[in-house]
Structure 1
Amino acid sequence: MPLADRLLAVRRDPHSGKVLAQGGDSEAHSILQRTGFVPVVRLHETYHRAPTGLTAEEEARLATEAVARLRAVDYPVDCDEDFTTDRRPPHYLPLGAQVTQLAERIRQATTTGEAAEILTELTAPRDGILAAVGEILQATADFHDGMDGAADPHIARRLRYLADERLHVIRTDLLHTRNDLADRHAPHPGRSACTEEVPATERERSAVCACPPPPRAVPTPPPPGATGPRR
């Protein structure tokens, strides 16, 4: 990862007086948001700000906590003197990162059965990941039903629409994919599990394993005219 993607600055903006965090990659942005910062997405940049309604002291505590968490995972952070700290809180693997491990397991799957088993973690009707996401959307809609903002009823309806319509489509399509893989009972033609064993008939016993080398990718020819006209 380029060093420039890991550099961050957490400072109080001299013009607005607000605490801003600028720079960093997606992991740093996740840490900032879990600390309490709010992302601001612009056309040419993304930065984070402290939530509105905080006192200067509360903003300083928020910024100090962010600096501590970022430095705990070795992000170089340039910050105001008021925000610096020697504290390094423990960093635990977040829930989303644990779910992402399912993608790596699918990338390593060598049979349709293995892939189907992993997808079941998403599509299981009662305790699958997508079912849990639907519960979260419904619970958040219920939360907005009890609020008194003018837009809260609309937000609640929108969240229920996402749960009942959009998420339902994703889950249904993925369930069909999972079921199709479960019925195929086939190895993946481009993947094979390496046993790291050398057959007894192998004369060169220094060989590490008997697996054939991975297939070479056929280079894609350039589009017509990409090389320019002949002179």
Structure 2
Amino acid sequence: MPHADRFLTVRRDPHSEEVLARGGDPQAHSVLQRAGLVPVVRVHETYHRAPAGLAPDEETRLATAAVARLRTAGYHVDCDAGFETDARPVSYLPLGASVAHLAERIRTATTTEEAADALTELTAAHDGVLAALGDILAATAEFHEGLGDAADPHIARRLRYLADERLHTLRTDLCHTRNALADRHAPHPGRSTCTEQVPATERERSAVCACPPPPRTALAPPPAVAAGPRR
């Protein structure tokens, strides 16, 4: 039986008439956002709604697209009859998957050079991930400067502050970390690459590999018994 997080509902609320999607895990939430819905974070729940100000037929179109995308991703969706669809759109790996792959490279790195190579994709001065993020913040700030609402200039200034101060600090620290790792030229003492080869000098030919056994975890001593007065 599928896990409970694989079930979602997409329905029009009978009281508010809002199109609401409930349930799912973080991956499902990403699918809903890419379908055009807006997340609403509450104390005990995160659900998604259609953007404000849409006509009912446009809300139906978004909800139907969300149902199709969720089912393409393998989720079980219970929805209103008006949102039912047999469409299964082609799904592609999101851009974030490429960045997440860097974390996997670091988790499996066995030397400081390997870890530094992965961090370089983040910290490269011209075309690294953080440089691109800075460009995105700047472009979004420029977009808000011309929107015309009273709060838009404040949002633009906030975005530029994030790019110039917060992102700059993050980028500086990660660059320092990457450069320090590049200079160390050391294997990670807790990680090694197993070749699964038995050396010719090994007498026990039934051995699987020459890797040393993992260190045994020392058992914690039992708690001391509190001494009390004898009776």
State the partner residue of 1:60: 60
| Residue 87 of structure 2 corresponds to residue 87 of structure 1 | yes
Matches within 5 A, 1:15-164: 15-164=15-164
Alpha-carbon offset, residue 209 of structure 1? 2.2
Cα distance change on mapping 1:59 and 1:219 into 2, 3 Å? farther
- Matched position secondary structure for 2:153: helix
- The one-letter code of the counterpart of 2:203 is R
- Per-residue deviation at 1:216? 4.2
Mapping of 1:179-194 within 5 angstroms?
179-194=179-194
Q: Which whole-Å deviations, capped at 9, do the CAs of 1:90-123 have from their partners, x for residues lacking one?
A: 1211001111010000000000111011101001
**Is residue 192 of structure 2 the alignment partner of residue 199 of structure 1?**
no
Instruction: Work out the number of aligned pairs and report it.
Output: 228
Letter in 1 for 2:96: G
Tell me if 1:7 matches 2:7: yes
Q: What stretches of structure 1 of length at least 5 have no aligned partner?
A: none
> Equivalents in 2 of 1:107, 1:199: separation in Å?
28
Q: Tell me which amino acid in the other structure corresponds to 1:82.
A: G
Give the counterpart letter for 1:196 in structure 2.
E
Q: Distance in 1 between matches of 2:4 and 2:187?
A: 42
Q: Tell me the amino acid that sits aligned with residue 182 of structure 1.
A: A
Aligned counterparts of 2:71 and 2:143: Cα–Cα separation in 1: 35
1:165 maps to 165
Task: Tell me the CA shift for residue 206 of structure 1.
Answer: 3.8
1:163 match: secondary structure: helix
Counterpart Cα distance in 1 of 2:101 and 2:227: 48
Higher Rg of the two aligned structures = 2
**RMSD (CA atoms):** 2.3
> Could you tell me the percent identity over the aligned residues?
73
Closer/same/farther in 2, CA of residues 88 and 172 from structure 1, 3 Å limit: same
SS of the residue 2:63 aligns to: helix
Q: Helix, strand or coil for the counterpart of 2:88?
A: coil
Cα drift, residue 146 of structure 1: 1.1
**Kindly tell me: are residues 50 and 177 of structure 1, through their superposed partners in 2, closer, same or farther at Cα, counting changes over 3 Å?**
same
SS where residue 107 of structure 2 aligns? helix
User: In structure 1, what is the Cα distance between the partners aligned to 2:55 and 2:227?
Assistant: 66
- 1 CA distance for matches of 2:51 and 2:160? 26
Change (3 A) 1:189 1:32: same
For 2:139 and 2:216, the matched residues in 1 are separated by: 50
- TM-score for both structures, normalised by structure 1: 0.92
SS in 2 for 1:113: helix
Partners of 2:220 and 2:62 in 1: CA distance:
51
Q: Give CA-to-partner distance per residue, 1:13-56, whole Å, 9 cap, x none.
A: 00000100001000000000011000000111110000011111
Q: Return the offset for 1:7.
A: 1.2
Deviation at 1:215, TM superposition (A): 3.3
Supply the distance in 2 between the matched residues of 1:210 and 1:171 (Cα, whole angstroms): 41
Which piece of structure 1 moves more, 149-158 or 207-216?
207-216
Give the TM-score taking structure 2 as reference length. 0.92
Amino acid paired to 1:105: R
